Amino acid sequence: MKSRALMLLICLVGVLSPFVAQSIDLNLAGTLQLDYLFTPFGRSDPRPASHTLDGFTEKLSLKLAIDISSHASANVKACFGCHGFEVGMAYVDFRLADEFNIRAGRFSPTFGEFGLRHDPGNHRLSDKPLPYDMGRMLRMMEFGRSVLPSPYVDNGIELSGSHFFGRRLQLDYAAHAVAGLRANTDTPYDVDFIASRSAAPYYIDNNSQPSVGGRVGLTARLADRVDLTVGGSAIWGAYDTRARMTYTVLGADLFLRAGRTNVRAEYLIRRTDMYAAEQERFEYALQPWPTDRCPSGSSRCATAGTWRSSSLCCATSTSSCAGTACAAAATSPRARPSTSTRASRAGPSAPSTPSSAGID
Amino acid sequence: MRQVVWLVIAVLAGCGAYQRGEGLDVATVPPALHADYELFARRCSRCHSLSRPLNARITADEHWAEYVSRMRRMPGSGISPDDVPALLRFLTWYSAARRAPDGGAGGAR
Note the pLDDT of residue A336: 38
Distances (CA, A) of A89 to A43, A357, B49: 43, 27, 22
Q: Give the pLDDT confidence of A264-304 residue by residue, as tens digits.
A: 999 999 999 888 777 777 777 766 555 555 555 555 554 43
Contact B66 A70 (CB under 8 A): yes
Of A114-118, A315-319, B83-87, the range with the lowest mean pLDDT is A315-319
* B9-B10-B13 Cα angle (round to 5): 85
Confidence of residue A46 (pLDDT cuts 50, 70, 90): low
Of A84-88, A146-150, A266-270, B70-74, the range with the lowest mean pLDDT is A84-88
Within 10 Å of residue B27's Cβ, how many Cβ atoms? Answer: 8
The edge-to-edge listing of strands for the beta sheet with A84-97 is A25-37, A55-69, A72-81, A84-97, A100-107, A154-165, A169-178, A211-223, A226-238, A246-258, A261-272, A355-359
* A165-A171-A175 Cα angle (round to 5): 145
Domain extent at residue B95: 24-99
B75 touching chain A per CB within 8 A: yes
A101 touching chain B per CB within 8 A: yes
Domain boundaries, chain A: 25-39+50-272
Q: Which residues of B touch A255 (CB under 8 A)?
A: 76
Distance CA B73, CA A162 (A): 6
Q: Looking at residues A103-119, what average pLDDT do you find?
A: 93
**If 0-12 CB within 10 Å is exposed, 13-18 middle and 19+ buried, where does residue A191 land?**
buried
Residue B7 in domain = no
A113 touching chain B per CB within 8 A: yes
Note the pLDDT of residue A302: 46
Residue B50 in domain = yes
**Which of A98, A219, A229 is opposite residue B73, by nearest beta carbon?**
A98
B84 touching chain A per CB within 8 A: no
Confidence of residue A16 (pLDDT cuts 50, 70, 90): very low
Is pLDDT at A62 greater than 50 in this prediction? yes
Note the pLDDT of residue A24: 66
Within 10 Å of residue A27's Cβ, how many Cβ atoms? Answer: 17
Residue B58 in domain = yes
Distance CA B76, CA B66 (A): 18
Q: Looking at residues A106-110, what average pLDDT do you find?
A: 95
Query: What is the SS3 assignment for A320?
Result: helix
**Residue of B46, B52, B54, B91 to mutate, interface with A, max A Cβ within 10 Å:** B46
Residue B3 in domain = no
Strand runs labelled E in chain A? 25-37, 55-69, 72-81, 84-97, 100-107, 154-165, 169-178, 211-223, 226-238, 246-258, 261-272, 274-275, 286-287, 299-300, 314-315, 340-343, 355-359
Contact B58 A27 (CB under 8 A): yes
Residue B18 in domain = no
CA-closest candidate to residue A23, choices B60, B104, B90, B75: B60
Confidence of residue A30 (pLDDT cuts 50, 70, 90): confident
CA-closest candidate to residue B78, choices A85, A221, A33: A221
Within 10 Å of residue B56's Cβ, how many Cβ atoms? Answer: 15
Q: Looking at residues A97-125, what average pLDDT do you find?
A: 90
Phi, psi for A270 (deg, rounded to 5): -125, 130
Cα of B68 to nearest chain A Cα, Å: 12
Cα torsion through A248, A171, B72, B20, rounded to 10: -80
Is pLDDT at A247 greater than 80 in this prediction? yes
With CA atoms as reference, the chain B residue closest to A174 would be: B75
Note the pLDDT of residue A297: 55
Note the pLDDT of residue A324: 33
Confidence of residue A203 (pLDDT cuts 50, 70, 90): confident
Domain count for chain B: 1
With CA atoms as reference, the chain B residue closest to A166 would be: B80
Which residues of chain B are modeled with pLDDT < 50? 15-20
With CA atoms as reference, the chain B residue closest to A42 would be: B3
Average pLDDT, chain A: 75
Confidence of residue A85 (pLDDT cuts 50, 70, 90): confident
**Which of B67, B74, B80 is opposite residue A164, by nearest beta carbon?**
B80
Q: Looking at residues A25-32, what average pLDDT do you find?
A: 82
Which of A40-49, A115-124, A223-232 tops mean pLDDT?
A223-232
Is pLDDT at A337 greater than 60 in this prediction? no
Which of A16-20, A32-36, A282-286 tops mean pLDDT?
A32-36
Please identify among residues 22-41 of chain B the ones whose CB lies closer than 8 Å to any CB of chain A: none
CATH number at residue B46: 1.10.760.10
